[in-house]
Amino acid sequence: MDSHNRFETKTTAALLRLEWLAALIVCAVLAIIHIRSVNWPVFIGFFAVIDLIGYIPGAIAYRRSPGHTISHRYYLAYNTMHSLLTGGALAGIWMLAVRPEWALLAIPIHLFGDRGLFGNSLKPFKVRFEPVTVPAFAEFERTFAGTPPVAAPAAGKETAEAVTR
């Protein structure tokens, strides 16, 4: 939402997803335009490795864990592999070591698809690996939905009370 309130309303979350969908469409159109030039084994490899390393091990551990509590290492693997920074680094290394090629569009297509189509982003350590609404967040959403916008406090006088009014 902003640098002091790190949450999204349903509207801002939908708008962010729309931006990711637009980026996905641009990449998909580029891939379609250059479909004959795409090295498909490389495309499939880059597309799959993100989940083979970043999601599937954590999903298996989550489903096997009786209390659905898993090591933070699975979250780190997910967040590392689903990061645009990691994707950019992988593409950059490939371009330097091999060559630039259209198959590298697999990386943004996967990441923009996850964000735009499924609403997935990086995973906070304090929530379940698989999405489940936290009761405190559900209550917050209900409370926030009925709260009028907060008036600006006097300079230098912002308090928790002013923010929660």
Provide the CB-side half-sphere exposure for 55 (13 A, CA). Answer: 15
What is the pLDDT, as a whole number, of residue 93? 98
Lowest mean pLDDT among 47-51, 85-89, 128-132: 128-132
- CA–CA distance, 122 with 80 (Å, rounded to integer): 9
Confidence of residue 161 (pLDDT cuts 50, 70, 90): low
What is the pLDDT, as a whole number, of residue 7? 80
Confidence of residue 156 (pLDDT cuts 50, 70, 90): low
| Contact present, 61 and 150 (Cβ < 8 Å) | no
Confidence of residue 57 (pLDDT cuts 50, 70, 90): very high
| Contact present, 42 and 102 (Cβ < 8 Å) | no
Which long-range contacts does 55-64 make (Cβ < 8 Å, 24+ apart)?
55/81, 55/82, 58/129, 59/129, 59/130, 61/129, 62/128, 62/129, 62/130
Measured from the Cβ of residue 129, the count of other Cβ atoms closer than 10 Å reads 21
Lowest mean pLDDT among 10-14, 124-128, 154-158: 154-158
Break the chain into its structural domains and give their ranges. Answer: 10-131
Residue 114 has pLDDT above 80, yes or no: yes
- CA–CA distance, 70 with 60 (Å, rounded to integer): 10
What is the pLDDT, as a whole number, of residue 14? 94
What is the pLDDT, as a whole number, of residue 158? 58
User: Residue 67 corresponds to which tokens in the numbers above?
Assistant: 């209390």
Helical spans, DSSP H, in the chain: 10-33, 40-54, 56-64, 72-81, 84-97, 106-118, 135-145, 160-164
What is the pLDDT, as a whole number, of residue 160? 54
What is the pLDDT, as a whole number, of residue 5? 77
Per residue in 67-101, pLDDT tens? 999 999 999 999 999 999 999 999 999 999 999 99
Measured from the Cβ of residue 130, the count of other Cβ atoms closer than 10 Å reads 11
